[in-house]
A and B are shown apart, each in its own frame.
Chain A
Amino acid sequence: MNDIFRDKVDIELTVNGEQVEARVPAGQHVIDFLRQDLGLTGAHASCEHGVCGACTIRVDGLAVRGCLMLAAQLDGAEVWTVEGLSDSNAVRDLQDAFVARNALQCGFCTPGMLVAAEELLSRGGVPGRAEIREHLSGNYCRCTGYEAIVDAVESVARQRAGKATA
């Protein structure tokens, strides 16, 4: 060990539109930082090896696995979690559709589902059901069987496309 490598790293970033400064352990992943240091418990730490998708958040405009990114890598980043996307109404229609169609039961996967679905819908157009399934294939739900989730995402895509052309 030498003084080039730090076991605590200083970072400055924005989270849900707010400036944050923090000193984080070198090996801490983004989800533990968000949950334990910032109290943002929407994104979940579950499998912690990139398989389940419950930790999906938006970093610099892209949906990423929060568990596969270190907090130390967030310096200068723009982070959005389900809390911010919810407060800003970015995913309000998706949330309403998930409720209306029973697209969640225990709700553990829902924040990750919303962030992943929002990335797909942000590209515009109305994706087919196969495309929706493929895009959400990295987000596990152990309750619903996915059918209602695909229904919800598809219905919002149609709503948004309708508004765009209205």
Chain B
Amino acid sequence: MKASAGGYARAADLGHALEMLASAEGMGRILAGGQSLVAAMNMRLSTGDLLIDISRISDLSGVREADGRLRIGALTRHADIGANPLVRTHAPLLADAVGHIAHAAIRNRGTIGGAMAHADPAAEFPACALALGATMHVVGPKGERDVEADAFFHEVFETDLQPDEILTAISVPVAESGERQVLQEVARRSGDYALAGLCLVKRAAGHRVSLLSVGPRPVLAREAMKRLDAGDPEGAVAALRSEIDPPSDTQASAGYRRHIAGVLLRRAVAQITGEMA
């Protein structure tokens, strides 16, 4: 099958992109790296879109650190996040996640903002954003607003972004001294979508656990987090398995995903404690 686009326009800057989005009357679609959107267009899962290509807006790309936060422009490509020294130091979870995202050629084009806005529940970056307590920076006709990751991801491919808004950056708190961040996932082949995946962040304030591929959106495992804070990892595994409600599909049954999630939590805890010993 071949894509059916309603039209294409290249945005010179953010203001231009917002104007075009407003003029598209609900049919506008932001094109960034295109690694999910163009695939969906080719399969005619998305048709008639008025494409607003923001990929040339250079000030939406890049990583900087300020006031205890790491701010990553929405157009920063996966490969660049994986190689970026600031990310590796201050948000190693994001850098580690890159190796799990698809394949090298896709990581050369895909953008972190695109991954967040696309909100595939099987994607790594949204789950990382939840575990890190990321903030999504959004701009629309009424100006800028910030959305916490936990409020950003609504459903499969649905976020808090309104049709006239653009995600411009995400920011995460800089990792504190002694903070640990790990990602564990199980996939049948390298680059496949994970059957289940888990992010574990350990801070002075407590543990944060998020999961991907176990529901219609990335989820925080709050009960498991409490059990980990109480120093009860096996209790956390049991809590995790009872608090998630994964789907069954051709890749894995719900029961298998639930089992894997617990195994991943054990591996993540072992990775943290093993490396600290």
> Interface centre among A49, A56, A119, by most B CB within 10 Å?
A49
Of the listed stretches A58-66, A85-93, A96-104, A154-162, name the one at the interface; the rest are far from the partner chain.
A58-66
Which of chain B's residues 1-45 have a Cβ closer than 8 Å to chain A?
1-10, 20, 23-24, 31, 34-35, 38-39, 41-43
B190 and A137: CB pair below 8 A?
Answer: yes
Contact of A70 among B8, B105, B106 (CB under 8 A): B8
Q: Which residues of B contact A133 (CB under 8 A)?
A: 190
- In the complex, chain A residues whose CB is within 8 Å of the CB of B42: 29, 48-49, 67-68
Most interface-central of A25, A63, A67, A68 (chain B CB within 10 A): A68
Is A164 an interface position by the 8 A CB rule?
no
Instruction: Evaluate whether A5 and B105 lie within 8 angstroms (CB atoms) in the complex, with A48-B42, A72-B53, A137-B190 already known.
Output: no
The answer to whether A63 touches B35 (Cβ under 8 A) is no
Interface string of B142-159 (1 = CB under 8 A from A): 000000000000000000
B7, B23, B79: the one contacting A6 at CB < 8 Å is: B7
Asked if B55 is at the interface of the complex by the 8 Å CB criterion, the answer is: yes
Judged by DSSP, the binding face of A is mixed
Cβ contact within 8 Å between A68 and B4: no
Bound together, the chains give a CA A4 to CA B8 distance in angstroms of 8
Q: Does B259 contact A (CB under 8 A)?
A: no
Decide: B109 and A28 in contact? CB cutoff 8 A. no
A40 adjacent to chain B (CB < 8 Å): no
Q: Mark A24-57, 1 if CB is under 8 A from B, else 0.
A: 0111110010000000000000001110010010
Is A22 interfacial (CB-CB < 8 Å)? Answer: no
For A24, the closest partner residue in chain B by CB is B8
Contact (Cβ within 8 A) B50 A64: no
Q: Tell me what chain B mostly uses at the interface: helix, strand, loop, or mixed.
A: mixed
Interface residue? A116 (CB, 8 A): yes
Cβ of B244 < 8 Å from any Cβ of A? no
Residues of A within 8 A of B10 (CB): 72, 75
The yes or no answer to A13 lying at the interface (CB within 8 A) is: no
A21 within 8 A of B: no
Select B23's contact among A2, A9, A29, A69, beta carbons within 8 Å: A2
What is the minimal beta-carbon distance from B60 to any residue of chain A, in angstroms?
15
- B2/A27 in contact, CB under 8 A: yes
Residues of A within 8 A of B6 (CB): 1, 5, 7, 26
B191 CB-CB contact with A under 8 Å: yes
Minimum CB–CB distance from B75 to chain A (whole Å) comes to 13
Chain B residue numbers with a CB within 8 Å of A139 are 103
The smallest C-beta distance from A27 to any residue of chain B, in angstroms, reads 3
Assess whether B5 is in contact with A26, with CB atoms less than 8 Å apart.
Answer: yes
When distances are taken between beta carbons in the complex, the residues of chain A under 8 Å from B20 are 4-5
Are B7 and A26 in contact, CB atoms less than 8 angstroms apart? yes
Q: Which A residue sits closest to B27, measured CB to CB?
A: A1
**Counting CB contacts under 8 A, is B63 at the interface?**
no
Q: Encode A133-144 as 1/0 by CB contact (under 8 A) with B.
A: 111011100000
Interface residues of B in 161-190 (CB under 8 A from A): 189-190
Q: Does B58 contact A (CB under 8 A)?
A: no
The interface of chain A, by Cβ under 8 A from chain B, is 1-2, 4-7, 9, 25-29, 32, 48-50, 53, 56, 62-65, 67-70, 72-73, 75, 116, 119-120, 133-135, 137-139
Give B residues with C-beta under 8 Å from A.
1-10, 20, 23-24, 31, 34-35, 38-39, 41-43, 50-51, 53, 55, 79, 102-106, 108-109, 189-191
- Identify the 7 closest CB pairs spanning chains A and B, nearest first: A138-B103, A5-B7, A27-B5, A27-B3, A26-B8, A49-B39, A137-B190
Q: Identify 22 residue pairs between A and B in the complex whose beta-carbon atoms are under 8 Å apart, listed by A's number.
A: A1-B6, A2-B23, A4-B20, A4-B23, A4-B24, A5-B7, A5-B50, A7-B6, A7-B8, A26-B5, A27-B2, A29-B3, A29-B38, A56-B105, A62-B108, A63-B105, A65-B35, A72-B8, A72-B53, A73-B55, A134-B190, A138-B104
